[in-house]
Amino acid sequence: MQAPPSPRNRSLRLSAEDRARLSPALEAALELGSGSGAIALPGPGPAAPGAEAGPGSGLVIAGDCLAVLPRLAPASVDLLVADPPYNLDKAFGSRSGSRMSDEDYEEYTASWLEACLPLLKPGASVYACCDWRGGAAMQRALGRRLVLRNRITWEREKGRAAARNWKGAHEDIWFATVSGEYRFDAAAVRLRRRVRAPYRDGAGGPKDWGDGPDGKLRDTAASNLWTDLVVPFWSMPENTSHPTQKPEKLLAKLLLASSRPGDLVLDPFLGSGTTAVVAKKLGRRFVGIEADPEHCLAALRRLELAEADRRIQGYEEGLFWERNSGPRRSR
Ligand SMILES: C[S@@+](CC[C@H](N)C(=O)[O-])C[C@H]1O[C@@H](n2cnc3c(N)ncnc32)[C@H](O)[C@@H]1O
């Protein structure tokens, strides 16, 4: 018999009641995903982050994004966040796949990207996640169609051990835009970190840092190397059984830097719903497409929970905090 989960395990688990309550929403998501007509996009979102998101603020669609994307309105999306299956031998719930050649992975990347491009506004930004192996194919596919701006590398705290290779401990996110006119709010994604070398100015006061109840801290511009993320695990309430779930904090950085409240965010590979949940918490509209109904259910449940709890672990008081830190009162 399986041991009962530890009381400290805060992972999302769907009860029979949750499943029954969410079943109409899942039916609606499946119906949207299997239809053939145009899909009406969610209406204007709330005016400010944290404001109550109306029922029109987001759509979860259960289906194949390649079939669904052509049914969305052209030039409607402000931000595309794509976290497609990496080119691995891997199972995603009921779906599984084996590693393709680099050429085939590039072709696969081009197929969903081509379906997304007509949906993007001229000022839209695009983020696409990958590992080191798929990075080159992703770079080529994006670079041929968009303006490449940067590659973010983020440290996966718990790399996968390897007997005859370096442990993989990072992933990448390519950043691209449709044009030269795009939004980037650097001030919204500053990182608060502990000061290791507390230099002083001529008058003996702190230079570029502050000394308060939380210690000596400095707010720094976000770079393209992120070491402050924690991959969701069992003691985090955002954790689900999805095998490749992204941290909410990661999505919060992308959305805050590259969208405004009320903007429309598209995620064609929604998984457990992280993009939708963060969009909701930050007052953005969203459309998320996910092929696996079980992952859609997790997304729907997380969206339900986000109605009452808008917190994003690691993002407090309008700032991102270095890993495992935060204001004293919340620790
Ligand atoms: C890397 S995961 C995304 C994880 C997600 N970012 C999260 O935080 O949970 C990729 C997801 O894409 C889904 N998927 C794969 N092919 C798809 C397709 N053609 N259309 C829609 N979803 C698809 C998989 O079921 C999987 O959940």
User: Residue 55's pLDDT is what?
Assistant: 41
Range of 143's domain?
A: 74-290+299-330
Mean pLDDT of 172-194: 96
Between CA 12 and CA 212 the distance in angstroms is 36
Among residues 291, 268, 254, which one has the least CA distance to residue 119?
Answer: 268
Residue 12 in any domain: the answer is no
Q: How many CB atoms neighbour CB 201 within 10 A?
A: 9
Cα 221 to its chain centre, rounded Å, is 20
Helix residue spans in 238-317 (DSSP H): 248-258, 274-281, 293-308
Angle, CA 50 vertex, CA 48 and CA 55 arms, to 5°: 85
Q: Which of 28-42, 58-72, 95-109, 138-152 has the lowest mean pLDDT?
A: 95-109
Query: How does pLDDT run across 64-95, given as a tens digit for each residue?
Result: 999 999 999 999 999 999 999 998 876 554 55
The DSSP call for residue 44 is -
Pocket test for ligand 1, best of 111, 269, 295 (most atoms within 8 A of CB): 269
Residue 186 in any domain: the answer is yes
Residue 129 in any domain: the answer is yes
Domains: count for the chain: 1
Between CA 301 and CA 22 the distance in angstroms is 7
Residue 68 in any domain: the answer is no
C-alpha of residue 84 to centroid of ligand 1, in Å:
6
Residue 65: CB within 6 Å of ligand 1? yes
Query: How does pLDDT run across 280-325, given as a tens digit for each residue?
Result: 999 999 999 999 999 999 999 999 999 999 999 999 989 999 988 8
Q: HSE (CB half, 13 Å, CA atoms) of 125?
A: 19
Residue position matching structure tokens 């395990």 = 9
User: Residue 209's pLDDT is what?
Assistant: 80
Residue 28 in any domain: the answer is no
Residue 241 in any domain: the answer is yes
Pick the most confident of 15-19, 49-53, 216-220: 15-19
C-alpha of residue 273 to centroid of ligand 1, in Å:
9
Pocket test for ligand 1, best of 92, 230, 251, 302 (most atoms within 8 A of CB): 92
Residue 85: CB within 6 Å of ligand 1? yes
Domain with 282 in it: what CATH number?
3.40.50.150
Residue 43 in any domain: the answer is no
Residue 184 in any domain: the answer is yes
C-alpha of residue 264 to centroid of ligand 1, in Å:
19
Classify each residue of 36-61 as buried b or exposed e, where b means 16 or more C-beta atoms within 10 Å of its C-beta. eeebebbeebbeebeeebeeebbbbb
